[in-house]
Structure 1
Amino acid sequence: MTSKNIVITIDGPAGAGKSSVARGVAKRLGLSYLDTGALYRAIAYTLDKAAIPPVEGESLSATLRDLSVALASGRVFVDGKDVTDLIRNPLVDSLASKYSALPSVRARLLDIQREQVLGGGLVADGRDMGTVVFPLAPLKIFLTASEEVRARRRFDELVSRGQVDVDFDSVLEDIKTRDRSDRERACSPLVEAPDSVVLDSSSLSVDQVVDRIVSLAEGARSDD
């Protein structure tokens, strides 16, 4: 296995720092970064705007068939429209959790995600990257942190984006609700892959987590 074709998956609950860590690992190893959370948020945002509820049905299936979702240069596009700046807020997070529980939504994105490895190795973060999307990945990480720490990170992120009316207790409750939804859903629930490495980032910085995963990746390559 070379540094150019290794696949690293980083799964975990909302607010664990998966995106920041995945970007850092990808940059350090010279790999592509697959932002699966952005893909789900983009679909959820688009379906909600089209007044299509998060339930299986013909209208949902028809819309998904015609929907074009793409990642390019760190931006997210739906049917050619850049929605990157519209999908990073608590409302869309909540919507993404509901829509991502639907088999038709997950099936639509499965092929899109797997196609990304055709260009070489990558780092993918999400909820089922190591269990469903890339089950043969040589390095699987399950990144977690306490509910309070994750809520504080999300709260600080929202405030930094200018959302001054955000309430910490509401963010904490959103985190707890999202956790229950992700772990209890019937389709691809959030679980640790049997061969994953569990990392608790509650007391670790992003750089420290990145260092740990890069070290594991280098070990995985040398063992091949």
Structure 2
Amino acid sequence: MIVAIDGPAGVGKSTIAKAIAQRSAFFYISSGKFYRAVTLYALEQGIDVEKKEGLVDLVASLSFSIRQGELYIGARNVEPFLHTDRIDALVATVSAYPPLREEINKALRKTTAEMNVVMEGRDITTVVFPDAEVKIFLDASVETRAMRRFRQGTSELSYDELVDSIRSRDTIDREKPVGGLKVADDALYIDSSDLTIDQVCEKVVQEIFRAEQKVNQEKDGSDD
């Protein structure tokens, strides 16, 4: 079963997806980590992400794997290096490049074949897994997301700068020609601005339970 969770930057998709995966004994995978890893390696190798040249070849040269919920490139755990202000500023530009998205999507589908997975990102419900059994769109106001990031203490930006950064990121994500951020017609929309993590998780778990009942009913019907 695929549980696909979409939503804008800073909405808490990773936190929710990890919690749901743990409760459901599913594997957790973040598509955004793949794009952040490509951005990291592009910066380390001096590739101009604005010009896009060399990005697709770079992806082809990287060996992605998930180990205990963390992303590895070859034998290197890149998890500690993926959330910096520099990567935050560039990853939307990198992920907006259609040929790159096609390669990453192939890798995501291959990795999750025949697995029970909770995956979060920007276009998981609409492009990567349009036939996912469970689709969730997690949202929150720009102000709420900026305050959450500010309180984490992982950014050197002020609260007002974070508001501007997140709003700019939202615009880029929504206007992408391929894989733009949008709510799938059959997705459950959840505004988490005034909800706790447990309250959001409960809504998602209920949706998974309904999907599992539907799958079982369809299976029983086909056996008749």
TM-score, normalised to structure 2, is 0.90
Counterpart in the other structure of 2:221: none
Structure 1 contact 140–196 (Cα < 8 Å) conserved: yes
Counterpart in the other structure of 1:114: 109
2:95 partner amino acid: S
1:129 Cα shift? Answer: 0.4
Counterpart in the other structure of 1:141: 136
Counterpart in the other structure of 2:145: 150
Equivalent residue in structure 2 for 1:105, among 93, 96, 100: 100
1:77 Cα shift? Answer: 1.8
Counterpart in the other structure of 1:67: 62
Q: Which runs of 5+ in 1 are unaligned?
A: 1-5
How many angstroms apart in 2 are the aligned matches of 1:117 and 1:77? 16
How many angstroms apart in 2 are the aligned matches of 1:172 and 1:116? 34
How many angstroms apart in 1 are the aligned matches of 2:187 and 2:56? 33
* Structure 1 residues 56 and 138, CA gap change in structure 2 (3 angstroms): farther
2:32 partner amino acid: G
CA deviation vs aligned residue, 1:128-162 (integer Å, no higher than 9, x gap): 000011110011000000000011111112x1x4x
Structure 1 contact 45–95 (Cα < 8 Å) conserved: no
1:48 Cα shift? Answer: 1.8
Q: Which runs of 4+ in 1 moved over 3 A?
A: 55-58
1:38 Cα shift? Answer: 1.4
Say whether residues 1:193 and 2:189 are aligned partners.
no
Q: Secondary structure at the match of 1:188?
A: coil
Structure 1 contact 54–102 (Cα < 8 Å) conserved: no
2:25 partner amino acid: G
Structure 1 contact 11–129 (Cα < 8 Å) conserved: yes
1:8-157, aligned counterparts within 5 Å? 8-55=3-50, 58-157=53-152
Q: Percent identity at matched positions?
A: 33
CA deviation vs aligned residue, 1:13-71 (integer Å, no higher than 9, x gap): 01111000001111111100011121111111111221212246552332222122222
How many angstroms apart in 2 are the aligned matches of 1:59 and 1:21? 34
How many angstroms apart in 2 are the aligned matches of 1:32 and 1:211? 18
Say whether residues 1:168 and 2:176 are aligned partners.
no
Q: Secondary structure at the match of 2:113?
A: helix
How many angstroms apart in 1 are the aligned matches of 2:141 and 2:52? 36
Structure 2 contact 38–58 (Cα < 8 Å) conserved: no
Q: Which moved more, 1:7-16 or 1:100-109?
A: 100-109
Structure 1 contact 56–102 (Cα < 8 Å) conserved: no
Aligned residues: 215
Structure 1 contact 155–168 (Cα < 8 Å) conserved: yes
Q: Which moved more, 1:89-98 or 1:182-191?
A: 89-98
Counterpart in the other structure of 1:3: none
Q: Which moved more, 1:44-53 or 1:203-212?
A: 44-53
